[in-house]
Each structure stands twice: as structure tokens, then as C-alpha cells.
Structure 1
Amino acid sequence: MTLRDVVRPGLRVIVAGTIAAWDRAAQVHYYDSPGNKFWTLLHASGLVPVELAPEQDDEVLRFGVGLTDLVRTEPSPPSEPPRFDVAGFHRLIARNRPRVLAFVSKTAASSYARAAGERAPRGFGTLSWTVAGVPAFVLPGPSGANNGMPLPLRIAMWSELADYVAALEARG
């Protein structure tokens, strides 16, 4: 089994990560690695009302959340950077038109920015550019590698995304 997009049209937010192309085929569920706080952050921020497990990654759709990553081409060797299909990523976002596209880390946002010719983000929060016309947002990463940032601070920043999405929904 391979990791596939968990998306549909009209979602509140699609969360995009940067799983390495050579790992994509080996993954069965999103954010299913020891120490990864994705599912905790998604719930604690208010983006979903219950804490889901990685095996329930399809359930995010019920709450208006989608999951994808930037890798859209053939696997690249571990010694090379992932090959991003920017045009394919734009088509996926344009076809599904979420209210917001949230990059799950500065690494994800910077990887996209480099590939798309945009300015790399300096911090977290809303970006000055869009992806296929969709507002973009940068979250602090959920991986164990980011455990130097306290969990309460990460929850607060993920909660800013929930507030941003709610504000966009209120505007119609």
C-alpha cells in the first residue's frame, strides 16, 4: 500500500507535508512515527473535535481537513533532494479549493517556495503568497525532531490556524 492524498473538494484546510519520495511507498498512514505530535496538535488546536490516531487518517475529511504532501514525482534516491511536481501540486489544490493550505513546517513551506519561485517564509502564520489562489499558512512541525519547541507553544500556533480558518469562514 502507498500513502495517498486524503482530500476532497471544499475542505476547510489541506495540510501539506514533505514526506521524502523514497519513504512515500513505505508509508501506510500520515504522521505515524514515534514522537510525532501531529494528531495531538490537530485536536488540541480545535481543528478537529476528537483526537484521531494515524490509522484514522481518512476521518479528517469528516471535519473539513485534508492531508497531502509535496512529493508528486518518481522517488528520488536518498542522496538527492525530493523532486517536487509544482504543477501537479497546484492542480491538486486548485481542483479541491480548500479555504487554506497549511504547510506542516517551515521546511515544507520553504521547499514549496524554492520550487515555485516564491519567497521562503521567515516565521509561522499567514504567508504573503498563495498556492493556486488559496491562502497559505505555515505551522510549526509536529515531528519529534521539533521537540525543542514546547508543545504548548506549538498548540498555540496551530490554534492560530484554526482561528484563521474560522475568520475566513465567517467572512463567507
Structure 2
Amino acid sequence: MAAEGLRVLFCGINPGLLSAATGHHFARPGNRFWPALHASGFTPRRLLPEEERELLTYGLGITNVVARATARADELTRAEFAEGGRLLEAKTARLRPKWLAVLGVTAYRAAFDAPGAAVGPQERLVGGVPVWLLPNPSGLNAHYTPSALAEKFGELRAASAED
């Protein structure tokens, strides 16, 4: 779900099996995307995956690096990430959001051949758009607590409000 004139285009790695089955991004109950989006101030309330179209009313969109659904992101190949990066480059060039937020350090590194990339703003532009790298909100990512994840989302929210 993406549209022109967005403040932030969030980009997940790829759909999980439940997201593919329901047709909604970050549909797995343990995923922390929707709680982090709300806790960081991007949305006035916690949205449900089936309410994802409401993101457009807040100037937000959502997409994925790779379209193929898998149980785990580590099932994707380097070739899929590279092709996904190329397609994402074209999509951001067409949509021109103020920020592209990639949700997953490993996915960003693989899609854009950026082995040293870390969470936060990136020097590289994707499709002429500045990139902010966020942690993967999957419940499988134990490196970030829900509050730390919300804090990282909040940094992007503050930066996107300044533009």
C-alpha cells in the first residue's frame, strides 16, 4: 500500500505467511510494527493490520523489499534481495516519499550491497529519496525491546516532521 506525496514509506522485508494469507502487512500477532508505530507518535491509536489503508491519512505508506512470502526472512536469497532493491529504487523514484524507512538491517544490507549499514539515517539515497534504517519489528528480533523499537521509530517521526 503506497501512494504519492507520502511523508514516510515503510518497507518491510517480505510478507510472512499470515500476512500473505490475510493480505495485510505485519499481520502476525507478535509483530511489533503496529505498536511501535503508535507508541512513536506516527498514529494516534494502535491500528490493526486490516486497518493499514488508514496509514494514508497520516501520510504513511507500506511496502516490502521482496514480494515472496516466507515463514522466515532468512529463507530469501541474495538474488531476491538484489532484485527487490532494484524494484524498490524504481518505486521510491516514482512515489517520491520524504523518507523511505527500511525495516531490517540485514535486508537493507543485502538489497543495497551496504555491509556496514546501521540503524538510523543513511548516506545513500534510494530512488532519490533519503533512507532511514529501522530495526526489524518481528517478534523474532530480540535485540530491541518494544520501548527501544518505539524510540527508534520516534527518531524517524521527529525527523520526518522537520521536513
Which TM class, normalised by the smaller chain length? 0.7 to 0.9
Distance 2:69 2:30 in 1: 25
In structure 1, the residue matched to 2:95 is 96
Deviations 1:114-161 (A, max 9, x none): 2xxxx2344211001010110000111211111342211111111001
Aligned equivalent of 2:8: 13
Whole-Å separation in 2 of the counterparts to 1:15 and 1:28: 16
Out of 154, 157, 160, the position equivalent to 1:165 is: 160
Aligned to 2:53: 58
Please report how far the alpha carbon of residue 164 of structure 1 lies from its aligned counterpart in structure 2 after TM superposition: 1.0
Task: Look up the equivalent residue of 1:162 and give its one-letter code.
Answer: R
Cα–Cα, structure 1 residues 89 and 38, in superposed 2: closer, same or farther, change >3 Å?
same
Q: Are 2:140 and 1:145 equivalent residues in the alignment?
A: yes
Secondary structure of the corresponding residue to residue 118 of structure 2: coil
Number of aligned residue pairs = 157
* Aligned partners of 2:15 and 2:26 also within 8 Å: no
The percentage of counterpart residues that share the same residue type is 32
User: Cα deviation per residue 1:34-80 (whole Å; 9 max; x = unaligned)?
Assistant: 310100001111112221001111111111110001125x789x966
Q: Which runs of 5+ in 2 are unaligned?
A: none
Instruction: Determine whether 1:46 maps to 2:45.
Output: no
Which residue in 1 is equivalent to 2:32? 37
> How does the TM-score come out when normalised to structure 2?
0.84
The correspondence of residues 118-157 of structure 1 with structure 2, limited to 5 A, is 119-157=114-152
> Larger Rg: 1 or 2?
1
Structure 1 residue ranges without an equivalent (≥5): 1-5
- Are the aligned partners of 2:105 and 2:133 in contact in 1 as well (CA < 8 Å)? yes
Q: CA RMSD in A?
A: 2.5
| TM score, norm. by length of structure 1 | 0.80
Letter aligned with residue 109 of structure 2: S
- The offset of 1:86, in angstroms, is 3.5
Cα distance, 1:26 vs structure 2? 3.6
Question: In the alignment, is residue 87 of structure 1 matched against residue 86 of structure 2?
Answer: yes
